[in-house]
């Protein structure tokens, strides 16, 4: 199954994993320690985030460390910015229209 960034960030646990790993790289057990779900469930979330390019897992000795790679989120932010500007313009125009109707 092909995964994308939107699928990854749709889940609140995955968003929180990204948040935790954006501050520091952690091994899988340390990531799992932040959540009240099973270690296999955390591993599944990590796998999805890795497939989407939001998490990089690197082997260091016997440990696997995860860190966030936020470049994909920046791409999404840049893409949505065009729609934010469009809707802000439309909502400003609606507000002006409503002000004229009320006045």
Q: Which two tokens stand for residue 36?
A: 């009240």
Q: Residues, the chain, total?
A: 103
Query: What is residue 9's predicted lDDT score, i.e. its pLDDT?
Result: 93
Long-range contacts of 76-84 (CB under 8 A, 24+ apart): 76/5, 76/6, 76/9
CATH 2.30.40.10 fits 1-69, yes or no: no
Mean predicted lDDT score pLDDT of the chain: 93
Give the mean model confidence (pLDDT) for residues 10-22: 96
pTM, rounded to two decimals: 0.77
Domain ranges for the chain, please list them: 1-69, 71-103
**Residue 1 above 90 pLDDT?**
no
pLDDT digits (tens, 9 = 90+) for 59-88: 999 999 999 999 989 888 988 888 998 999
**Residue 93 above 90 pLDDT?**
yes
């Amino acid at each position: 199954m092909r995964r994308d960034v939107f699928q990854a960030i749709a889940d609140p646990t995955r968003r929180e994993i990204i948040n935790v790993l954006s501050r520091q790289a952690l091994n899988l057990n340390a990531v799992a320690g932040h959540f009240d779900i099973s270690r296999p469930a955390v591993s599944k979330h990590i796998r999805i985030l890795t497939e989407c390019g939001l998490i990089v897992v690197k082997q260091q000795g016997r440990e696997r460390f995860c860190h966030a790679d936020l470049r994909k989120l920046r791409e999404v932010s840049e893409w949505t910015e065009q729609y934010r500007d469009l809707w802000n313009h439309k909502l400003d125009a609606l507000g002006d229209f409503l002000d004229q109707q009320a006045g």
